[in-house]
Amino acid sequence: MFFEETMLSEYVHEFLKTGILAGGTISLFFSLIFWGIALTRIFSQPKKRLKQYVMEEDRLTILRRENTTFRIAEPFVRDLITAPWNKNQIKLNHISEQLTLLHTSVPWKPEEFVAVKQAESILLGTILGMVFWNTFNPIAGGITGFLCGFGYYFVMLSDLKDRYKKRLHELRTILPFVVDLMAMTRGAGASFTESLESAALENSGHPISDELNHVIMQLKHGVTQQKSLEDLAERVRLDEFNEVVFAINKADELGTPIAFALSELAGQMRLRRQQLGEKASEEAEVKLTGPVMLIVVACMIIAVAPFLLPVVLGNSPLMF
């Protein structure tokens, strides 16, 4: 009986060992095929595109200079752009909004950003997978490569989304003070462009300064005030910015003093911010009630336990 169990155990062990080696060999085979095709695309010349424009060539030149992955693997990245899983237009629109607001130094298009991060995740997953393959076994290598590749890709997209939300919060927080400053400078006789320049200079280093400088640049290049402000509202996509743009354009259209309109709007925005702060503090108080009660109960148990335990266990000195 023992001999039969030993033979069965050895048979199972050999079967599993053969299956692991076969699976690893198959995975390695397909990995080599994939990277053979990928490397062929990476080191080939980029596709010639018809109707090249100077500005597009400038953008691509900056993109190649600022991003190493795109510069080395541009043909492979372009193949990933056209992949079926990168055709989700809603997702690409969200990423486009995030990249536009963040004013990244790299002039990304959303599909290029996604494809580059996918290429980097494939490279990272393959490298780590091969390391764990050689260090442990094919299964560990495959699982590690898969998880690290997908994890890197989703972490990059999550980081972009977090930076976008942080920037929106910073813009929403500072906007009432900027509107108030613009109202004062306009009331002192400054032009609209000068009031924007004063606000941008006063908040230098803050995200609002980038947005105001963008509007100033558009105005200096001949874009109308209404169009430049509408572009600002389109980039930021916050209700508060929409209100400011609407108030300025409406005051300009009706001939109402912009300083008065901005002053009234700044007061309303400060009041709304105060109300939101009070609401947040009340919500925080409600959320803290549960943990505080648990701490109080725990403290009471610790204080009363030395007296209750002897009674419960029947060893109380009070019992006769």
Name the residue type at position 153.
Y
Structure tokens at 120: 């980097």
Which of 131, 107, 111 lies closest to 55 in space, CA to CA? 107
- Tens of pLDDT along 216-245? 999 998 888 889 999 999 889 888 888 888
> What are the helix and strand counts (H, E) for the chain?
12, 0
- Tens of pLDDT along 45-70? 444 343 344 478 888 888 889 899 99
| Per-residue pLDDT at 290 | 77
Structure tokens at 82: 């056209």
Give residue 257's pLDDT band: very low, low, confident or very high (50, 70, 90): confident
Domain boundaries, the chain: 2-46+53-168
Q: Could you give the CA distance from residue 189 to residue 244 in angstroms, rounded to a whole number?
A: 20
Which region holds residue 50: left if phi is over 0, alpha if psi is between -120 and 50, else beta? beta
Which region holds residue 189: left if phi is over 0, alpha if psi is between -120 and 50, else beta? left
Q: Could you give the CA distance from residue 199 to residue 206 in angstroms, rounded to a whole number?
A: 11
- Tens of pLDDT along 91-142? 999 999 999 888 877 889 999 999 999 999 999 998 988 888 888 888 888 8
Sequence-distant (≥ 6) Cβ neighbours of residue 121 within 8 angstroms: 149, 150, 152, 153, 156
Q: Could you give the CA distance from residue 185 to residue 191 in angstroms, rounded to a whole number?
A: 8
For the whole model, what pTM was predicted?
0.70
Is there a contact between 230 and 214 (Cβ–Cβ < 8 Å)?
Answer: no
**Is the predicted pLDDT of residue 4 greater than 80, yes or no?**
no
Structure tokens at 42: 């990476």
Is there a contact between 86 and 80 (Cβ–Cβ < 8 Å)?
Answer: yes
Is there a contact between 42 and 76 (Cβ–Cβ < 8 Å)?
Answer: yes
Q: What does each C-alpha distance from 49 to 53, 63, 72, 78, 115 come to in angstroms?
A: 10, 17, 18, 12, 19
Terminal Cα distance for the chain, rounded: 64
